[in-house]
Structures are given as C-alpha cells and as structure tokens.
Amino acid sequence: MPIGGAYSVDKYYRLRHGLQWFESEQPDEGIKAYVEAQLDKVNWSVDVVLSHTVPIEAEPVWAFIPGLDQSTVDKSTEKWLQHIHDNLDFSEWYAGHYHVESEECGIRIMFEDYDEICEEE
C-alpha cells in the first residue's frame, strides 16, 4: 500500500527564496478517504506499506533539525498515519522523509539503504 506525502519543514524558506513548493505535498481529505476506502476493500490487512513519512509515534525525534520550531510543522499527515497504523494489520512498513536510517515502532525508515521487498523464492 503506497501512501505518499509529508510536510516540508523548509516550506517558508522555499517560499521566501522563490523556490518550488507544492501545496499538494500532503494528502488532502480526498486522498485520505481514497486510501481508507482501499484499505476497507482488503479488510485493513496488507503485506507492505510504503509511506513517505511515518505515524506520529514513530517519528525519529532525535533526527529533527536543531533549532527548528516544531510548533510550525504541520503534523496532520503523521497523525492520520497513526490512525492507519493503529488499525492496520501489516507485515512490513517502510518510509523515508527523515534522511536517516532507523527503525521506530516496527517501521523501517530508510535513507541511503535499500531492501528487497518481494524476494523471489
């Protein structure tokens, strides 16, 4: 199950300097409803989840950018993913976004590493 999107902590820097920023960087309510409808079809049971960010309880807070005021960061996607995580039966969950290698709450956060998800037997 692919689930994309995450808030860019450099949003305001990008806007100030005329760099690209995408308003659609996080899933909107329509996308969230679509994802949940797809999960309903499989009784909230999947083998693998591939998400950009992670559920809020799996955030690697030790990797947050020092000096960045976390109160300015929109965590709505992470909170929604927590709902997904708490209600989903899954075998593996992979994410990126944080530019670290870590495993938090059974979710593998990858940056420069990779893994074979569907190994042939």
Is 15 among the domain residues?
yes
Percent of the chain with pLDDT over 70: 96
Is 119 among the domain residues?
no
Is 93 among the domain residues?
yes
How many independent structural domains does the chain possess? 1
Is 121 among the domain residues?
no
Residues of the chain with pLDDT under 50: none
Report pLDDT for 35: 97
Report pLDDT for 85: 97
Is 39 among the domain residues?
yes
Q: φ, ψ for residue 65 (rounded to 5)?
A: -65, 120
pLDDT single digits (tens) 64-79: 878 777 787 889 999 9
CA angle 103–107–112, rounded 5-degree value: 60
Four-residue CA torsion sign, 100, 60, 35, 20: negative
Domain of 88?
2-109
- pTM to 2 decimal places: 0.86
Is 118 among the domain residues?
no
Contacts of 21 (CB under 8 A, 6+ apart): 8, 11, 14, 15
Is 117 among the domain residues?
no
Is 115 among the domain residues?
no
60-73: buried (b, 16+ CB within 10 Å) or exposed (e) per residue?
A: beeeeeeeeeeeee
